[in-house]
Amino acid sequence: MSNAYQKYTGNKELRDSIKSKEVAPQENKIIKNVPKLYKKEEGLLDPSLFIIVSGGEVRERDYFSFFKNKIYSFPRIVIKFIAKDSDGIGGLDVDKLVKVALQIKAEKEVSKSEDIIDIIKIVTDVDHFYLRIVANIPVCIDNNIEMIISNPCFEIWLYYSYYSTIPDFVTPSDKLKISSQFKTYLGKKHKGGVDPRKAPFKIASAIENSSNNFSLDENGIPKLFSTQMHTLASKLYNLTKEDIERERKKLEQKRKLHLKNK
């Protein structure tokens, strides 16, 4: 499958911006308040805007918030995370995720702004949405909206941040319980659970591990324990690898200093 899906989590600016079906260019909220141009050898460049539409309101939000953290500096990207519709309702199913993504795309086109490169992604779990995902893939392809799918859930991406092989998870007979039980499994597998706010420091490992264990079924949907997150993460990492390594070293120095002063 050439396209991947992503989900949006709550962001007030974007929620406000999709309340109206007709948005004047000067009212469009999506591309405002972006960081200043960053320098590269060939000159000044605009940061890339990643608009993430997600049904997950906790772990996905925490993961992508890493790249929005004011403590860190990632001048080459801007992340907008949306997990609620225009009425402030979260926990969006696949149909609503696609609807929100299409609304944002329409508003962006009205603005006709070329200030920054923007990429719309829908991040979704397979969970019990399989048939709706299959039905919506053509819509996303036609509208150049990429869908990032994790099977069974986003936690498989967090798992691959630390582990290189397919999990030794015993799949329950009731498929509707796979996602919830896998989350419990990961909490036990990785002492204290995987913190999505820290997992981005392991993004390079996650990309490699996820890619090595990736496979699709006959409908182009990731098989169990596969995720397309490495395709999105690779784009983020290419724009932030130096910054992530810098921040990782800073934290390591602080940790060593703390241990020294104990």
- Contact (CB, 8 A) for 215 and 223: yes
150 HSE (CA, 13 A, CB side) = 27
* Full-model pTM: 0.81
Dump pLDDT digits (tens) for 210-245: 999 999 999 999 999 999 999 999 999 999 999 999
In this structure, the dihedral spanned by the alpha carbons of residues 130, 147, 178 and 171, taken in order and rounded to 10 degrees, is 90
Number of structural domains (the chain) is 1
Cβ density class 110-131: b for 16+ within 10 Å, e for less: ebeeeebebbbbbbbbbbebbe
**2 domain residue, yes or no:** no
Mean pLDDT of 187-204: 94
Residue 134 lies in a domain: yes
How many CB atoms neighbour CB 105 within 10 A?
17
3-state secondary structure 238-250: HHHHHHHHHHHHH
Residue 36 lies in a domain: yes
In sequence order, which residues have a C-beta less than 8 Å from that of residue 252 and are 6 or more positions away? none
Range of the domain at 119: 12-261
**Bigger pLDDT: 158 vs 30:** 158
Cβ-count burial of 80 within 10 angstroms (0-12 exposed, 13-18 middle, 19+ buried)? buried
Q: What percent of the chain has pLDDT over 70?
A: 79
4 within some domain: no
Find residue 80's DSSP bridge partners.
51
* pLDDT interval class at 113 (50, 70, 90): low
Confidence of residue 112 (pLDDT cuts 50, 70, 90): low
pLDDT above 60 (res 152): yes
Q: Is residue 142 part of a domain?
A: yes
